[in-house]
Amino acid sequence: MKNEELFVRIRKRHINKEKRDIFPYLNFSKKIDRSERLLHLIERRIKDKISLKEARIQFVISDITAFEVYFMDLFQATYLFSTCQKEFLDKCEKLVDKKFDFQELKTIIFGGYELSDLVMEHQNFQNLKSIDKVFSVLIKENFLDSLSERDFIITEEDKTDPFRLDKNWYSNLEYYLKLRHDLIHDFDPKLRISQEEILELHLNLIDVILAVDTVFADEIFKPIVEKSKKKTVKSKKTSEKISQCIFACQKAARLHSVSKK
């Protein structure tokens, strides 16, 4: 089959996804926490400048990996928690133009594949324009632009203390993504990369993900919670757990971001 490589990638992603949490921010947080701890230990214990530079380079790569995986997880979570998955897939027609032959259709139907898997494999979550296109189609128009115009409230207890993204958040994040790309594909051995610069870019990335996660919670999770409150006792308990997890994730994320500044 001409799309066999596509199915192999999807099977591999299924295996990896089973080892991660259903909530995208939890996976992101665990990944960056590990990277932060490692860099902190290296900066504190190693004095060799070449080793320190290499550690910072690997930190950048790890950061953007966490960023990319977050949006992959967010895409799948948006599908799984969508109140109407057919409507979700109808929107996805704008995101991919792919044809499958009869044998491939049988593989998709009987091989345990979701149409959302096929759509996701044709998206690029390392590029801000591509990310904006995906979530503008799925959630709201001009998705990334809307982040600049919004106050983000993390939990009900924090309503008096909302936060906004830095005015240069987009350009800083775009630079960070390009930096990672250059470090992997076009490495400059004389590149100067300071701890202060990396920390600033890192914190901006965290705030952006937190902002996106807040929109995601408001647009996807909270409507499900409200709808479930009107149903069975079991549904109410499930909705309460989802709601508690949303607020706990966001509260921890904001505290993490603020504490690093």
Predicted local confidence at residue 233, as pLDDT: 44
CA-to-CA distance for 35 and 206, rounded, in angstroms? Answer: 13
* Choice among 69-78, 197-206, 247-256 with the minimum mean pLDDT: 247-256
Q: What is the pLDDT of residues 173-221, one digit of tens each?
A: 999 999 999 988 887 777 888 888 999 999 999 999 988 988 887 776 6
Q: What is the pLDDT of residues 16-55, one digit of tens each?
A: 777 787 788 888 988 999 999 999 899 889 889 888 889 9
Sequence-distant (≥ 6) Cβ neighbours of residue 170 within 8 angstroms: 128, 144, 148
Q: In whole numbers, what is the pLDDT of the chain averaged over residues? A: 79
Long-range CB pairs of 107-115 (<8 Å, 24+ gap) are: 107/1, 107/7, 111/7, 112/14, 113/7, 113/10, 114/79, 115/89
* Choice among 116-125, 201-210, 231-240 with the minimum mean pLDDT: 231-240
Predicted local confidence at residue 223, as pLDDT: 63
Predicted local confidence at residue 258, as pLDDT: 46
Backbone torsions φ then ψ of 151, nearest 5 degrees: -90, 135
Closest C-alpha to 249, from 213, 207, 195? 213
CA-to-CA distance for 2 and 101, rounded, in angstroms? Answer: 9
Burial 235-253 (b: 16+ CB within 10 A, else e): eeeebeebbebbbebbeeb
Q: What is the pTM of this model?
A: 0.79
Tell me the torsion sign for CA atoms 90, 7, 76, 105.
positive
- Decide if pLDDT at 98 tops 60: yes
CA-to-CA distance for 172 and 178, rounded, in angstroms? Answer: 10
Backbone torsions φ then ψ of 153, nearest 5 degrees: -105, 120
